[in-house]
Amino acid sequence: MKTQISSNDHPAYYSLTDAAWILGVTRSQIHRAIRTGVLPVIRRRSRLVVPAATLQRLLDTTDGTPRTSGGAQ
């Protein structure tokens, strides 16, 4: 059985509860973000999950502008 684990041993997907904890918000705020289209989710089997890449992009965003990886500006 193949599991969805990324190359650096972090999960490829997070549950809505885990995503809320990681982002420091409540589950109801997560559900509101999903309904409004702010937080994209996918269905894995019968559950809604948040892709780890989506959470990483949200965490890398400050004051509305995404950070770029790489050299100094």
Contacts of 18 (CB under 8 A, 6+ apart): none
Alpha helices in the chain (DSSP H): 16-23, 27-36, 52-60
Which tens digit of pLDDT belongs to each residue from 23-32? 999 999 999 9
pTM: 0.69
Q: Identity (one letter) of the amino acid at 66?
A: P
CA dihedral (39, 54, 14, 17) positive or negative? negative
Q: Is residue 11 classed exposed, middle or buried when 0-12, 13-18 and 19+ CB atoms within 10 A define those classes?
A: middle
Q: pLDDT digit string (tens) for 2-60?
A: 445 455 678 899 999 999 999 999 999 999 999 999 999 999 999 999 999 999 998 88
